Amino acid sequence: MANKEKYIQIYEVGPRDGLQNEAQPVPTDAKIRYIEALARAGHTRIEATSFVRPGVIPQLSDAHEVYTGLQNQTGVRYIALTPNRKGMENGLAAGLQEGAIFTAASEAFTKKNINATIDESIARFGDVMALASDAGIPVRGYVSTVVECPYAGKIDPEAVLDVCRRLLDLGVYQVSLGETIGVAVPDDIARLLDVLLKEIPAEKLAGHFHDTRGTALASVFRAIEFGLRIFDASSGGLGGCPYAPGAAGNLATEDLVYALHRSGYETGIDLEALALATSGIAQSLGREPTGRVYLACKS
């Protein structure tokens, strides 16, 4: 972090956002090995799992075992989703270092996805934030569908601003902007950030852009021009797209790291060690990741 201007913080979401969208169940110890390999590759923010109601997301039903199985490592923070009071309680019982709450900028999406209005979803977070505050741990916020919703179409940037503001008022230290369906081009991101940055400083915003149509990296570069320095990505592009077999979902961390390093930015991440972590979990999944750099490096 010698050069703050040039440092980009990556949040690795492979173990949670990635695996959650993979059909093949992964044994708990393979997840732990994966997460620890990601930390060895230099990741300092790793979304490790989600403390949801058992059975809701079978792939993540071993949240307690995964989380308690992780070795603490200096400088590395393991994050877990804590969607409600019970989730945060379970997280804290597992020694949670950082929680995360999530909602969307589209009413139609929260209805379908978490069976609540945006208001209701935010009302639930009061308890979560109070528990986290008592325990002295930070909480990150996620807003999905910041550009377009699969049910409601285009989303007004003002609606995104409103939800971001409410999450920040609740006490999250940062909001990750989820371009959930991977339709955005750089101009979409520019239009969104034009609105958000009038009220919210860039250091409180992260970009979480899906690469379903190959546009995520271009959007990252545009966001960097706006001052954003925090991005989410999934090693190997894990996570796919639940709607399209073989299609890409998350932006692959290797693709992001490669492009950032070559552009003169620092991430603290070692690309080879990262690809090794990806290759390990790919074996458990029994499928090739979709990340371009991962595939190019293999040869």
Binding site for its own copies (CB under 8 A): 182-183, 185-188, 211-215, 217-218, 220-222, 241, 243-248, 252, 255, 258-259, 262-264, 288, 291-293, 295-296, 298-299
Is 149 a catalytic site residue? Answer: no
- Asked if residue 232 lies in contact with residue 210, where contact means CB atoms within 8 angstroms, the answer is no
Tokens of 56: 């809701």
Our CB check for its own copies shows the closer of 112 and 165 to be 112
User: Which residue(s) pair with 149 in the sheet?
Assistant: 153
Tokens of 5: 């201007």
User: Whole-angstrom Cα distance, residue 239 to residue 210?
Assistant: 10
Output the smallest distance, CB 188 to its own copies, in A. Answer: 7
Residue type, 38: L
Output the smallest distance, CB 251 to its own copies, in A. Answer: 9
Tokens of 3: 């050069």
User: Which residue(s) pair with 46 in the sheet?
Assistant: 12, 78
How many Å is the Cα radius of gyration of the chain? 18
User: Which runs of consecutive H residues, i.e. helices, occur in the chain?
Assistant: 19-20, 28-40, 63-69, 85-93, 107-114, 118-135, 157-170, 186-196, 216-225, 253-262, 271-285, 292-298
Our CB check for its own copies shows the closer of 162 and 270 to be 270
Bridge-based pairing of strands 153-154 and 148-149 is antiparallel
How many residues in total does the chain contain?
299
Our CB check for its own copies shows the closer of 71 and 263 to be 263
Output the smallest distance, CB 143 to its own copies, in A. Answer: 21
- Asked if residue 167 lies in contact with residue 141, where contact means CB atoms within 8 angstroms, the answer is yes
Our CB check for its own copies shows the closer of 132 and 228 to be 228
Our CB check for its own copies shows the closer of 54 and 214 to be 214
User: Whole-angstrom Cα distance, residue 295 to residue 237?
Assistant: 11
Output the smallest distance, CB 6 to its own copies, in A. Answer: 13
CA 245 to chain centroid, in Å, comes to 21
Residue type, 219: S
Our CB check for its own copies shows the closer of 83 and 182 to be 182
User: Whole-angstrom Cα distance, residue 229 to residue 175?
Assistant: 12
Name the nearest CA neighbour of 25 among 60, 51, 49.
60
Q: Which residues are catalytic?
A: 241
